[in-house]
Structures are given as structure tokens and as C-alpha cells.
Amino acid sequence: MKTMRKEITLLLIPAITLAIAISCTYHNEDDYFKDNPDICYTDDMSFKTDIYPLIESSCLSCHSNTNASRGINIEGYGNLKTHAESGIISKVINHESGVSAMPLYADKWSDCSIAKFDAWVEQGMKNN
Ligand code: HEC
């Protein structure tokens, strides 16, 4: 019994050392959350870096200045804001009933992308 306890203690030393080393890699909480793919970071959403790239890659092929399906043009901050304000963008990306699920003919956005968009709206749709 005693030797087993000793072995456990010996195993714990490297384990604790490793845990301390890992916890020291990140010097502030924000970096830790931003770099961790398992955590969806939704604080202080940026229109330019967090939101518009999502819209550009999955919506503009059908909702731009030159091709506005259903009359909906969300190219650029002003156009996107107009439609985001009415709540319709959040409804379509969340696949709510009563609206057409978007993006059309493509996978639903990840939970994290949807959370980021909704957070940006909640944070006042900043043009940042
Ligand atoms: C492949 C083309 C295509 C893509 C990509 C696409 N849409 Fe659409 N969208 C359409 C068409 C066509 C309609 C109108 C037909 C319909 O309502 O089913 C529409 C309708 C809409 C509507 C009105 C829905 C309603 O029920 O009133 C909104 C809002 C919208 N799209 C937003 C988006 C957003 C946001 C994205 C990206 C996440 C997106 N769309 C991606 C083609 C597309």
C-alpha cells in the first residue's frame, strides 16, 4: 500500500509541473479564449474581422449590389445593418420557422458563427 502511494506521488509531480507550465502559456484571459478553438469568443465583436468575413463568404454571392436575391442586398456595413436591425438576418441564419433558411443550398452556420453574429447585433452593430 505504501509503495503504491509513493508511485502515485511520483506520477503527480510531472503532472502538476505540466499543468503549471500550460497554465502559464497564456498571459491574459482574452488571449486564452481567442486562441482556444473549443471556446466560442463573442465579446467585443468586430464588424471587419468577425462578422463581415462570414457574410462575404456565405451570403454575398446571392445578396450583393449586383445580385440581390429577393431584393436583399447586404453588401457593405450600411446595407447589412439595415437588414440586421429588422431582425431578419438572425432569423434566417438561425433557421427560424416562417422565414427561408439561409445560406440557401449550403450548411447552416456553426453555432459559434451564429453566436458571433447575434452578439454583434446585441452589442449595437458597431462598424469597427
Ligand atoms: C445561393 C444563393 C443564396 C445564398 C448563398 C444566400 N441566399 Fe438568402 N436568399 C436567396 C434567395 C433565392 C432568396 C429568396 C427565396 C426565398 O425566400 O426562399 C433569399 C432570401 C433571403 C432572405 C429573406 C428571407 C425571408 O424569408 O424573408 C434573407 C434575409 C436572406 N436571404 C439572407 C441571407 C443571408 C444572411 C445569407 C448568408 C448567411 C444568405 N441569404 C445566403 C438566395 C441566397
pLDDT in tens, 23-61: 666 667 767 666 677 899 999 999 999 999 999 999 999
Q: How confident is the model at residue 20 (pLDDT cuts 50, 70, 90)?
A: low
Nearest to 68 by CA among 79, 84, 53: 79
Of 54, 72, 83, the one to substitute when testing ligand 1's pocket (max ligand atoms within 8 A of C-beta) is 72
Q: Which three cell numbers stand for residue 34?
A: 481567442
Atom from ligand 1 closest to the CA of residue 98: 26
Atom from ligand 1 closest to the CA of residue 59: 37
Of 57, 92, 105, the one to substitute when testing ligand 1's pocket (max ligand atoms within 8 A of C-beta) is 92
Rounded Cα–Cα distance for residues 3 and 117 (Å): 56
Rounded Cα–Cα distance for residues 101 and 122 (Å): 21
pTM of model > 0.95: no
Rounded Cα–Cα distance for residues 58 and 107 (Å): 10
Q: Specify the DSSP class assigned to residue 99.
A: S
Q: Which three cell numbers stand for residue 98?
A: 416562417
Of 54, 104, 107, 110, the one to substitute when testing ligand 1's pocket (max ligand atoms within 8 A of C-beta) is 104
Rounded Cα–Cα distance for residues 73 and 75 (Å): 6
Q: Which residue did the predictor score with more confidence, 18 or 92? A: 92
Cα 56 to averaged position of ligand 1 atoms, centre (Å) = 13
